[in-house]
């Protein structure tokens, strides 16, 4: 027996409310309010995990989220969550916790053999061992290494829980709720500022929760309660427990994770398990506290070795003693304070081992008064016991050399409590501020200046202020500064008086206890099993940069991100290099401060809500009529409408054939549509299109080609002149938004003097293309107020009519190469007009057709789309050179004549016909027969119902001069070669008589 | 003439609570007035007269007159909702400004209840404090990647305008996000 539950104490637990949970398959009982760590320690369960590399037994070392050793997996099934820190886990009825990184069991972990092989697993093991193994050798070993490595295992099942994102706003965001944080919050809140206090733990109060000091004559805990009561009662204050601010970003934006229901067996109805906050503040106060620093000595990772401050917290908050005969080892006065506090809470501290040879006499006297033996000028040089502390060797120690100087003696002990000084928690400040500043007195880094676009203040121990009274004052000052910057008058609480004075926490700058004869394992990084020997080895091998050291040894990585290790590693590095610590450098911290679940970042963007979908006004009709839908960008479009038993190929061939033979209708609502209005609209269009637009008459449409500034084709579409100063421009679906953005850019920057307005009307219009020889007859049955006779409504005509009383805008255009009309109507009327046309077409056996048949029809006609307008082709490449006016200047015209763009050997649009009567593969390379040198590629393929053969479009070097040539289409990844013939890209109706008819 | 359809599924907002309710509030008519430098004063005068405004609306503000809304969505743009067509529009276009009918291009969803602001803040990075976003504010932002225009009619009543093609997804998204506020 070592750790145990004290008879009283523990103000955070409810001893009348037992909680039953399971750890390692065993039933364990704790109390409401316990953490997993406190409940296990109360039951003397100290060995709860295995380390990462050597699989050494590990227990709880801290009492917070920086825990490096007491790591467990929670829950099961889809809710399984690895790498949870036992001090942070709140127990609840039915909790299932599992030790991780062990196989087959915690008590018999096969991979513990790694410990015996530790000499070969030193820093750089992988680099050195596999450097010459070659790719094949590495890949052989990799599978075993990957299986052995890792920390915990995520569930492969879907997570059934709900996660949310949210935004919060405050004048002042206070991060941390210890003495300084509460003082800052109170100051800002009393001054009328909107205050938000984010506290990582379940309870507010930070270090006050375990303090034995008094503030203004009352116990610190009582002061804390009264302050919280006041803050809770203020309407301008929001208190956020279980909320970890893990990132600080520009303009005082903070990212925070709220563990909404992690402390429950299951979230309640629709309650999220976690919520990810983006907090927007005018000013931020960082009261993030400090970490107690471990010391480096043989066996410092054994279960039962923990930070002295953690032992105090377990005793005060949870009524748990870390041991029956714990020994404190310290290099500063806070170790004494911890021992005295523990005594006050009923923990029988056996001794204090002080690395310093001389301390103030009052500490010695106080220790004597508490019946605590003091071993000054000595050190714990090794820990006895594997799964628990069975004793320690205490030996004389020379602080100047950092060496054990005598053999010493073995002393009975069941816990070792380390007080190696304090490291201000500057993680967030480092993210948002300048270079941290080294403080030789504290042997720690302090926050640097805030960046220009950030407004934050650090206070309390995060700012290196460890005296409680000074910390309270610094909190008030931070709150006052924040309020003043808001332009408000601060109403600060009166200065606080603290008794007794806080201990001097400036340490003797000795953190490494080097054994007299070497041997043993002195851990620097408990997460990744990096030892002092690894750092020494890295130094011998020439790693002088802290960043290189970090990557070579893997120090400072994993879930604690070096919170416990970095300072000791820097100290060892500095010592090895004979330099001061600040000359060695420090790594800058990056977000996130703690691990953040992907679920919380995704929020509700999962499953069908993964991304938003745009739907056509006729979407429901398509679905009701068995369309198979296809996602193209954000749009969901009908791909084809299969009849029972029909394959996609059979369906699209049927649909395309019907259009060629009779009539079909396709939804074209997805096209981008831009309303272009104003006196200068024609001039504007004339500048953005390569072909002429000034003289386009009202009631006519024109195909337009838009180039980039560099002369490459950007987009195409038809533009309809609806009125003297109003045009309706259509764009490709994919480029709708970017075309509008480019038009607005050109208008704003190049031609601001033009009176023209551009408005997206994509959503205003439902569009449907009625195509085929019977299309006119179908529309003539239902369109009123507009004559569609050929002589009245010729090719590219535009006019307004009505269908069943609903206004429609009709343009005689053709993408299919057939007689065709695009019918636009207000989106709310889209389905009604669509259905009216389908009804009118019944006598003509009209069918709906989808994107597959649309593609077939356009390939047959040699019309280009995004696969040919691929960001590399010119108008001439696509056979559209005639659309580039020689009589005017337009976007792209200046660079269109560059040599590289006029080379006759450029890739040019061609038609391709299969000589093997089978489908060509899009993307296949075009090569000369017998060659493997690519001279082009296939862009789009289909079976041509009109030609009854497999055809394709492609881009081929000098293609226009190679019609009739036999080539090979190669697709090496599929091992396919295909004999083809190069032909004109217009396969169908080359003279256009059908669509002009 | 067929009945116009709305893009939002029937029943998507059937769940309701005193804390939060959502409802489709399809606008009858939406018209955008976009003007260019030099014609701003005439457009402002026309809007002020039409909506009986003592002073010109600032960008990001809107005013109501009966069921009609006048929203200054940008320095050079007004959006007028549910107003009868007036000869004024013909007078303004095309000499003074571009008048664009967007009646079919937008859907609208009303969000009402004391939980409206925390609900909206689940997704929107908008400070709804009375100082930052008073009644009469018009905020253009995005929700779940969809561009939206949010009007604050009262402390606990908002109307969200969205492109029609996105409306069904936005409604589903809102209905899902509302569940925690409509339970218990």
In angstroms, rounded to a whole number, what is the distance separating the alpha carbons of residues A955 and A75?
A: 57
Give the one of A755, A757, A763 whose C-beta lies nearest to B105's C-beta.
Answer: A763
Query: Is there a contact between B121 and A168 if contact means CB atoms under 8 Å apart?
Result: yes
Q: Each residue of A499-527: b (16+ CB within 10 Å) or e?
A: eeebbbbbbbbbbbbbbeeeebbbbbbbb
Q: In which residue ranges of chain A is pLDDT below 50?
A: none
B127 touching chain A per CB within 8 A: yes
The burial class, CB within 10 Å (0-12 / 13-18 / 19+), for B10 is exposed
State which residue of chain B sits closest to A278, comparing Cα positions. Answer: B125
Kindly give the pairing relationship between strand A820-826 and strand A391-398: unpaired
Long-range Cβ contacts of A584-587 (<8 Å, 24+ apart): A584/A546, A585/A545, A585/A546, A585/A547, A586/A436, A586/A438, A586/A445, A586/A546, A587/A546, A587/A547, A587/A550, A587/A556, A587/A562
Half-sphere exposure of A440 (CA within 13 A, CB side): 3
In angstroms, rounded to a whole number, what is the distance separating the alpha carbons of residues A112 and A10?
A: 36
pLDDT of A769 reads: 98
Query: Is there a contact between B102 and A764 if contact means CB atoms under 8 Å apart?
Result: yes
The CB density around residue A548, as the number of other CB atoms within 10 Å, is 12
Token output for A778: 């179908």
Q: Is the dihedral of CA A151, A156, A160, A164 positive or negative?
A: positive
Each residue's pLDDT tens digit, B79-110: 999 988 776 777 777 788 999 999 999 999 99
Residue A130 has phi, psi (to 5 degrees) of -105, 5
Q: Residue B149's beta-bridge partner residues?
A: B140, B161
Token output for A472: 């309270």
Q: B146: which chain A residues are within 8 Å (Cβ-Cβ)? A: 612
Give the one of A269, A604, A724 whose C-beta lies nearest to B177's C-beta.
Answer: A604
The CB density around residue A536, as the number of other CB atoms within 10 Å, is 17
Q: What is the dihedral of CA A597, A601, A606, A610, to 10 degrees?
A: -150
CATH 3.30.1360.120 domain extents, chain B: 21-26+104-181
Token output for A221: 């805990």
Tell me how many helices (H) and strands (E) chain B has: 4, 10
Whole-structure pTM value:
0.93
C-alpha distances in angstroms, A379 versus A34, A342, A524, B177? 33, 21, 17, 58
Query: Is there a contact between B165 and A635 if contact means CB atoms under 8 Å apart?
Result: yes
User: Quick one: which of A515, A332, A295 has its CA closest to A408?
Assistant: A515
B139 contacts B62 by C-beta, under 8 angstroms: no
Q: What is the dihedral of CA A929, A930, A933, A938, to 10 degrees?
A: 40
A758 contacts A674 by C-beta, under 8 angstroms: yes
In angstroms, rounded to a whole number, what is the distance separating the alpha carbons of residues A282 and A284?
A: 7
Contacts of A65 (CB under 8 A, 6+ apart): A85, A87, A88, A200, A244, A594
| Straight-line distance from the first to the last Cα atom of chain B, in angstroms, rounded to the nearest whole number | 45
Q: Which of residues 154-183 of B touch A (CB under 8 A)?
A: 163-166, 168-170, 172-173, 176-177, 179-180, 183
pLDDT of B2 reads: 54
Tokens 């039962």 correspond to A304
The burial class, CB within 10 Å (0-12 / 13-18 / 19+), for A143 is exposed
Contacts of A95 (CB under 8 A, 6+ apart): A19, A21, A22, A36, A74, A75, A89, A265
Q: How far is A739 from chain B (nearest CA, A)?
A: 17
DSSP annotation string for A660-720 = HHS-EEEE-TTSEEEEEESTTHHHHHHHHBSS--TTPPTTBEEEEEEE-TTS-EEEEEEEE
pLDDT surpasses 80 at B182: yes
What's the CATH number for B21-26+104-181? Answer: 3.30.1360.120
Contacts of B30 (CB under 8 A, 6+ apart): B79, B80, B81, B82, B101, B102, B103, B105, B106, B161
Identify the three-state secondary structure at position B154.
strand
User: Quick one: which of A46, A101, A48, A95 has its CA closest to A74?
Assistant: A95
Give the one of B2, B93, B176 whose C-beta lies nearest to A832's C-beta.
Answer: B2
Q: pLDDT band for B5, please (50, 70, 90 cuts).
A: low
State which residue of chain A sits closest to B124, comparing Cα positions. Answer: A167
In angstroms, rounded to a whole number, what is the distance separating the alpha carbons of residues A651 and A664?
A: 13
What's the CATH number for B30-103? Answer: 3.30.70.1520
In angstroms, rounded to a whole number, what is the distance separating the alpha carbons of residues A181 and A175?
A: 7
Token output for A346: 């009923």
A283 contacts A455 by C-beta, under 8 angstroms: yes
Question: Any alpha helices (H) in A714-786, and if so which ranges?
Answer: 736-749, 775-782
User: Quick one: which of A531, A599, A538 has its CA closest to A159?
Assistant: A599
Q: A166: which chain B residues are within 8 Å (Cβ-Cβ)? A: 118, 121-122
Q: How far is B52 from chain A (nearest CA, A)?
A: 26
Query: Is there a contact between B176 and A604 if contact means CB atoms under 8 Å apart?
Result: yes
Token output for B155: 């402390």
Q: Each residue of B34-58: b (16+ CB within 10 Å) or e?
A: bbbeeeeeebbebbbebbeeeeebe
Query: Is there a contact between B144 and A168 if contact means CB atoms under 8 Å apart?
Result: no
User: Quick one: which of B135, B115, B82 has its CA closest to B16?
Assistant: B115
Q: Which segments within A616-671 are labelled E, that is strand? A: 628-632, 635-640, 664-667
Each residue's pLDDT tens digit, A4-27: 999 989 999 999 999 999 999 999
A859 contacts A952 by C-beta, under 8 angstroms: yes
DSSP annotation string for A396-412 = EEETTTTEE-S--EEE-
A792 contacts A805 by C-beta, under 8 angstroms: no
In angstroms, rounded to a whole number, what is the distance separating the alpha carbons of residues A657 and A668?
A: 19
CATH 3.30.70.1520 domain extents, chain B: 30-103
State which residue of chain A sits closest to B171, comparing Cα positions. Answer: A612
Q: Which of residues 766-825 of A touch B (CB under 8 A)?
A: 766, 804-806
Query: Is there a contact between A829 and B172 if contact means CB atoms under 8 Å apart?
Result: no
A274 contacts A162 by C-beta, under 8 angstroms: no
Token output for A417: 């409590």
Give the one of A164, A614, A679 whose C-beta lies nearest to B94's C-beta.
Answer: A679
In angstroms, rounded to a whole number, what is the distance separating the alpha carbons of residues A935 and A980?
A: 14
Token output for A833: 């007009």
Q: What is the ipTM of this complex?
A: 0.96
Token output for B171: 């409604």
State which residue of chain A sits closest to B76, comparing Cα positions. Answer: A757
Q: E strand or H helix at B142, and its extent?
A: strand B138-143
Query: Is there a contact between B2 and A804 if contact means CB atoms under 8 Å apart?
Result: yes
User: Quick one: which of A786, A40, A180, A232 has its CA closest to A479?
Assistant: A180
In angstroms, rounded to a whole number, what is the distance separating the alpha carbons of residues A512 and A529?
A: 16
Q: Which of residues 29-58 of B touch A (CB under 8 A)?
A: 32, 34-37
User: Quick one: which of A297, A308, A311, A287 has its CA closest to A503?
Assistant: A308
Contacts of A181 (CB under 8 A, 6+ apart): A174, A175, A197, A199, A206, A285, A287, A459, A460, A475
State which residue of chain A sits closest to B181, comparing Cα positions. Answer: A270
Helix, strand, coil % (nearest 5) of chain A?
A: 30, 30, 45
A764 touching chain B per CB within 8 A: yes
Tokens 């016909």 correspond to A913
Q: How far is A170 from chain B (nearest CA, A)?
A: 9
Q: Which of residues 184-203 of A touch B (CB under 8 A)?
A: 194
B105 touching chain A per CB within 8 A: yes
A261 contacts A271 by C-beta, under 8 angstroms: yes
The CA radius of gyration of chain B, in Å to the nearest whole number, is 17
């Amino acid at each position: 027996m070592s750790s145990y539950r004290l008879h009283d104490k523990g103000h955070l637990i409810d001893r009348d409310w037992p909680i039953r949970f399971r750890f390692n398959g065993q039933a364990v009982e704790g109390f409401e309010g316990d953490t997993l760590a406190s409940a296990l320690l109360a039951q003397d369960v100290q060995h709860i995990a295995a380390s990462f590399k050597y699989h050494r037994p590990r227990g709880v070392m801290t009492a917070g989220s920086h825990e490096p050793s007491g790591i467990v997996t929670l829950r099961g099934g889809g809710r399984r969550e690895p790498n949870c820190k036992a001090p942070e886990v709140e127990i609840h009825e039915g909790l299932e916790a599992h030790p991780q990184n062990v196989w087959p069991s915690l008590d018999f972990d096969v991979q513990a053999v790694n410990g015996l092989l530790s000499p070969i697993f030193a820093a750089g093991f992988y680099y050195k061992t596999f450097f010459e193994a070659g790719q094949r050798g590495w890949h052989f070993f990799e599978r075993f290494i990957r299986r052995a490595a890792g920390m915990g295992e995520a569930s492969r099942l879907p997570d059934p829980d709900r996660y949310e994102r949210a935004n919060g706003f405050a004048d002042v965001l206070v991060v941390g709720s210890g003495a300084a944080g509460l003082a800052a919050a109170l100051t800002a809140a009393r001054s009328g500022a909107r205050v938000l206090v984010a506290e990582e733990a379940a309870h507010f109060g930070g270090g006050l929760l375990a303090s034995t000091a008094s503030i203004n004559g009352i116990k610190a805990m009582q002061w804390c309660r009264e302050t919280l009561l006041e803050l809770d009662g203020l309407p301008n204050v929001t208190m956020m427990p279980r909320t970890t601010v893990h990132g600080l970003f520009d303009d005082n934006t903070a990212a925070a994770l709220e563990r909404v229901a992690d402390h429950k067996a299951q979230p309640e109805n629709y309650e999220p398990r976690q919520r990810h906050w983006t907090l927007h503040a005018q000013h931020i106060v960082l009261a993030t506290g400090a970490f107690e620093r471990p010391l480096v000595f043989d066996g410092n990772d054994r279960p039962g070795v923990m930070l002295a401050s953690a032992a105090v917290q377990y005793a005060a908050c949870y009524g748990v003693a870390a041991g029956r005969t714990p020994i404190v080892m310290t290099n500063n006065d806070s170790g004494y304070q911890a021992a005295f506090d523990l005594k006050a809470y009923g923990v029988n501290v056996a001794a204090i081992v002080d690395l310093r040879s001389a301390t103030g006499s009052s500490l010695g006297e106080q220790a004597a008064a508490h019946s605590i033996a003091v071993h000054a000028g000595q050190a714990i040089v090794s820990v006895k016991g594997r799964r628990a502390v069975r004793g320690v060797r205490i030996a004389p120690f020379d602080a100047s050399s950092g060496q054990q100087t005598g053999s010493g003696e073995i002393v009975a002990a069941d816990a070792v409590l380390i007080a190696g000084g304090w490291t201000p928690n500057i993680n967030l400040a480092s993210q948002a501020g300048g270079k941290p500043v080294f403080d030789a007195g504290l042997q720690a880094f302090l926050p640097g200046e805030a960046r220009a676009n950030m407004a934050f203040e650090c206070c309390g121990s995060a700012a290196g202020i460890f005296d409680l009274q000074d910390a309270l004052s610094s909190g008030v000052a931070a709150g006052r500064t924040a309020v003043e910057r808001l332009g408000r008058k601060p109403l600060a609480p009166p200065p606080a008086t603290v008794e007794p004075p806080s201990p001097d926490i400036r340490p003797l700058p000795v953190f490494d206890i080097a054994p007299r004869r070497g041997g043993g394992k002195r851990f620097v990084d408990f997460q990744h099993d990096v030892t002092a020997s690894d750092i020494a080895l890295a130094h011998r091998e020439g790693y002088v940069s802290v960043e290189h050291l970090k990557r070579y040894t893997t120090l400072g990585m994993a879930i604690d991100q070096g919170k416990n290790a970095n300072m000791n590693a820097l100290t060892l590095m500095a010592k090895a290099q004979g330099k001061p610590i600040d000359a060695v450098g420090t790594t800058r911290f990056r977000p996130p401060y703690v691990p953040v679940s992907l679920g919380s970042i995704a929020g509700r963007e999962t499953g069908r809500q993964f991304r938003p979908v745009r739907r056509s006004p006729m979407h429901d009709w398509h679905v009701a009529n068995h369309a198979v839908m296809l996602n193209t960008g954000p749009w969901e479009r009908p791909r084809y409408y299969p009849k029972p038993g029909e394959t996609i190929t059979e369906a699209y061939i049927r649909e395309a054939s019907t259009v060629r033979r009779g009539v079909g209708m396709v939804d074209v609502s997805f096209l981008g549509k831009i309303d272009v209005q104003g006196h200068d609209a024609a001039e504007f269009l004339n500048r953005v299109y390569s072909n002429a637009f000034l003289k386009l008459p009202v009631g006519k449409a024109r195909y337009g080609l838009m180039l980039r500034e560099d002369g490459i084709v950007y987009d195409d579409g038809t533009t309809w002149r609806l009125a003297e100063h109003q045009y309706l421009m259509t764009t490709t679906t994919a480029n709708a938004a970017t075309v509008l953005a480019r038009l607005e850019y050109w208008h704003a920057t190049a031609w601001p003097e033009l009176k023209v307005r551009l408005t997206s009307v994509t959503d205003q219009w439902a569009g449907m293309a009625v195509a085929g020889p019977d299309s006119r007859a179908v529309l003539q049955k239902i369109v009123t107020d507009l004559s569609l006779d050929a002589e009245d409504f010729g090719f590219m005509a535009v006019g307004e009519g009505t269908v069943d009383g609903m206004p429609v805008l009709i343009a005689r255009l053709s993408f299919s190469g057939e007689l065709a009309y695009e019918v636009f109507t207000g989106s709310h009327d889209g389905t009604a007009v669509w259905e009216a046309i389908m009804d009118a077409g019944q006598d003509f056996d009209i069918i709906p057709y989808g994107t597959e048949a649309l593609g077939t029809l356009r390939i047959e006609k040699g019309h280009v789309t995004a696969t040919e307008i691929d960001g590399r082709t010119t108008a001439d490449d696509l056979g559209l050179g005639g659309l580039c006016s020689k009589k005017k200047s337009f976007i792209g015209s200046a660079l269109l004549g560059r040599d590289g763009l006029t080379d006759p050997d450029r890739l040019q649009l061609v038609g391709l016909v299969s000589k093997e009567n089978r489908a060509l593969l899009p993307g296949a390379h075009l090569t000369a027969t017998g060659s493997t040198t690519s001279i082009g590629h296939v862009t789009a393929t289909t079976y041509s119902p009109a030609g009854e053969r497999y055809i394709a479009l492609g881009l081929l070097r000098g293609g226009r001069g190679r019609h009739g040539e036999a080539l090979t289409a190669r697709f090496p990844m599929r091992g396919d070669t295909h004999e083809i013939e190069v032909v004109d890209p217009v396969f169908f109706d080359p003279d256009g008589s059908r669509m002009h008819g | 003439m067929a009945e116009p359809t709305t893009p939002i599924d029937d029943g998507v907002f059937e769940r309701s609570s005193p804390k939060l309710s959502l409802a489709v509030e399809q606008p009858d008519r939406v018209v955008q007035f976009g003007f260019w430098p030099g014609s701003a004063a005439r457009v402002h005068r026309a809007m002020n007269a039409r909506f009986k405004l003592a002073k010109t609306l600032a960008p990001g503000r809107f005013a109501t007159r009966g069921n009609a809304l006048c929203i200054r969505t940008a320095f050079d743009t007004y959006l007028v909702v549910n107003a009868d067509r007036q000869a004024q529009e013909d007078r303004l276009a095309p000499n003074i400004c571009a008048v664009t009918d967007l009646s079919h291009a937008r859907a609208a969803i009303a969000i009402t209840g004391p939980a409206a602001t925390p609900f909206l803040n689940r997704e929107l990075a908008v400070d709804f404090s009375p100082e930052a976003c008073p009644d009469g504010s018009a905020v253009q932002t995005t929700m779940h990647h969809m561009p939206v225009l949010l009007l604050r009619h009262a402390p606990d009543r908002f109307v969200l305008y969205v492109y029609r093609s996105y409306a069904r997804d936005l409604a589903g998204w809102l209905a899902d996000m509302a569940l925690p506020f409509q339970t218990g």
